[in-house]
Amino acid sequence: MAVDEKVIQEIVRQILAAKGLQSAPAEPKKEAPQASDEFPIIPVGVSARHVHLSRKDMDTLFGPGSELTPIKPLMGGQYAAKEQVTIIGPSLRSIERVRVLGPLRKQSQVEISATDSFVLKVKPPVRPSGDLKGSAGITIVGPKGVVKLEEGCIIANRHIHMSPEDAKRFGVKDGDYVNTLAEGERRTMLYGVQIRVSPEYTLEMHIDTDDANAIGFKDKTEVTMFKR
Amino acid sequence: MAVDEKVIQEIVRQILAAKGLQSAPAEPKKEAPQASDEFPIIPVGVSARHVHLSRKDMDTLFGPGSELTPIKPLMGGQYAAKEQVTIIGPSLRSIERVRVLGPLRKQSQVEISATDSFVLKVKPPVRPSGDLKGSAGITIVGPKGVVKLEEGCIIANRHIHMSPEDAKRFGVKDGDYVNTLAEGERRTMLYGVQIRVSPEYTLEMHIDTDDANAIGFKDKTEVTMFKR
């Protein structure tokens, strides 16, 4: 019986959907996942710990009226700045040389990994960037002053940036959640990956250093996206 | 049509098997995965970086004829020892206070995480414990001397310890590979988890600190096991 693999998978999906069950993502072939709009291949970028600053906190940390110095452009009009800070939680240890990202924002935000959170003894929630209400407090030290944030420290959620064209092609929209599979010797499926759509975005999944190490991230790591 | 969910999943599995395809694991309900012999719940333990020593290296690091001092019993007759060492790779940075595990072994072994490997600038392979041929070199410093291992540094693979009774109940055997799903805000499926069976083992999945942070490990974290 010559039935296409994809046909069977579609039948399976429909049976489960008819039963109100969630279909498990089909496993792509290990050696060569077939890139398609149904199962797109997404390049992965790793976000190391970093800080976004408000105008007010920039003034305190780097001096009144000081400006960030862009050294590397990032997606969506953001950039890595020359400026760095030290972050301190309620432990004896601090983390130095934490990169500031520009431009300035309405509210300061400190994005760290779970690994960092154990060093600093802070308990940040896993959140989308900008969703800071009730997040963890943390102290930022700059060359000109110190800022004690009551909230603003988070572990950034797993997310994929893409253009509206990509979103249309893949059949997803801003705010959707998908799953992504990383192949290799530390094969891992990351669930709950948030879709972020903007004309300024290029296609890239952003994960923190913990997820990166869990999946055995190397340069040019890619994942396969599964809609849920 | 009143068809049991498990019946459908079994049909699906058989269709895919008949096509020579690998079936994707069914997704358990998010809120309350149903513990069963088919989808057993496995407690998770996190292995921090540690060192196993040979008699010869123990002599060099802690003095001829020195013995390890057990301070905490571990599974399978192993124990955490009072003794600690410093490990150094070809970077300017070392990692101090690395726990030695006893009893002594035939060959010294240093188990670190990918995060550690970037600090030390070593490139250990992901391996089962004891599989050291061609693994990374590393230097160990003790109070009485220094050992330069030509090989012995690995990133331990994900694995599950269990008794022969558990293995029989779950339908797996020593050396099999399974997948495990961790629920929560960092929902993650870890693939390629090796089964290790011994009468001395109690049921526990061991992962390194990178995987632990990726899945959002907290005390009492459990995963659901899926046979492949």
User: Which of the two residues, B16 and A225, has the higher pLDDT score?
Assistant: A225
What does the alpha-carbon distance between residue A147 and residue A57 come to, in Å, rounded to a whole number?
7
Tallying the residues shown for chain A, one arrives at: 228
Cα angle B198, B227, A27; round to 5: 145
Classify B50 as helix, strand or coil: strand
Q: Could you tell me how far CA B214 lies from the centroid of its own chain? A: 14
Which has the closest alpha carbon to A164: A174, A154, A179? A174
A115 to B185: CB separation less than 8 angstroms, yes or no: no
Which has the closest alpha carbon to A142: A33, A54, A17? A54
pLDDT in tens, A118-136: 999 999 999 999 999 999 9
Closest-CA residue of B relative to A215 is B211
pLDDT in tens, A138-168: 999 999 999 999 999 999 999 999 999 999 9
What does the alpha-carbon distance between residue B91 and residue A188 come to, in Å, rounded to a whole number?
29
Question: With contact defined as beta carbons under 8 Å apart, do B221 and B97 qualify?
Answer: no
The stretches of chain A forming alpha helices (DSSP H) are 5-18, 55-62, 114-120, 164-170, 209-214
Q: Indicate if the pLDDT at residue A180 is higher than 50.
A: yes
Q: What pLDDT is stored for residue A178 in this prediction?
A: 97
Closest-CA residue of A relative to B124 is A216
Q: What pLDDT is stored for residue B4 in this prediction?
A: 52
Classify B56 as helix, strand or coil: helix
Percent of chain A exceeding pLDDT 90 equals: 80
Q: What pLDDT is stored for residue B37 in this prediction?
A: 85
For chain A, which residues lie within 8 Å of any Cβ of chain B, measuring from their own Cβ? 3, 5, 8, 12, 15-16, 19, 21-27, 113-115, 125-126, 158, 185-192, 209-211, 213-216
Mean confidence (pLDDT) of chain A: 89
Q: What pLDDT is stored for residue A29 in this prediction?
A: 39
**pLDDT band at residue A37 under the 50/70/90 scheme:** confident
Radius of gyration, CA atoms only, chain B: 20
Residue A82 is which amino acid?
A: K
Token code pair at residue B47: 């292995």
Q: Indicate if the pLDDT at residue A6 is higher than 70.
A: no
Q: What pLDDT is stored for residue B10 in this prediction?
A: 56
Burial of residue A89, with CB atoms counted within 10 A of its CB: 0-12 exposed, 13-18 middle, 19 or more buried: buried
Task: Kindly state the average pLDDT of the residues A18-34.
Answer: 45
pLDDT below 50 — which residues of chain B? Answer: 1-3, 17-32
Q: What pLDDT is stored for residue B168 in this prediction?
A: 97
pLDDT in tens, A59-94: 999 999 999 999 999 999 999 999 999 999 999 899
Classify B5 as helix, strand or coil: helix
Q: What pLDDT is stored for residue B152 in this prediction?
A: 98
Chain A residues touching residue B16 (CB < 8 angstroms):
8, 12
The stretches of B19-67 forming alpha helices (DSSP H) are 55-62
DSSP A205-227: EEEEHHHHHHTT--TT-EEEEEE
What does the alpha-carbon distance between residue A127 and residue B214 come to, in Å, rounded to a whole number?
14
* 3-state helix/strand/coil string of B66-92: CCCCEEEECHHHCEEEEEEEEEECCCC
What does the alpha-carbon distance between residue B17 and residue A207 come to, in Å, rounded to a whole number?
34
For chain B, which residues lie within 8 Å of any Cβ of chain A, measuring from their own Cβ? 3, 5, 8, 12, 15-16, 19, 21-27, 113-115, 125-126, 158, 185-192, 209-211, 213-216
Q: Is A218 left (phi over 0), alpha (psi -120 to 50) or beta?
A: beta
Highest mean pLDDT among A1-5, A23-27, B33-37, B135-139: B135-139
Which has the closest alpha carbon to A204: A47, A73, A80? A47
**pLDDT band at residue A95 under the 50/70/90 scheme:** very high
Q: Indicate if the pLDDT at residue A205 is higher than 50.
A: yes
Q: What pLDDT is stored for residue B228 in this prediction?
A: 74
Closest-CA residue of B relative to A19 is B5
Counting other chains too, the contacts that A61-70 makes at CB distance below 8 Å and 24 or more residues apart are A61/A85, A61/A140, A61/A141, A61/A142, A61/A143, A61/A144, A61/A145, A61/A146, A61/A147, A62/A142, A62/A143, A62/A144, A63/A143, A63/A144, A66/A144, A68/A100, A68/A102, A68/A103, A68/A104, A70/A102
ipTM exceeding cut-off 0.85 for this assembly: no
* Residues whose CB falls within 8 Å of the CB of residue B219, separated by 6 or more in sequence, listed in order: none
What does the alpha-carbon distance between residue B44 and residue A221 come to, in Å, rounded to a whole number?
27
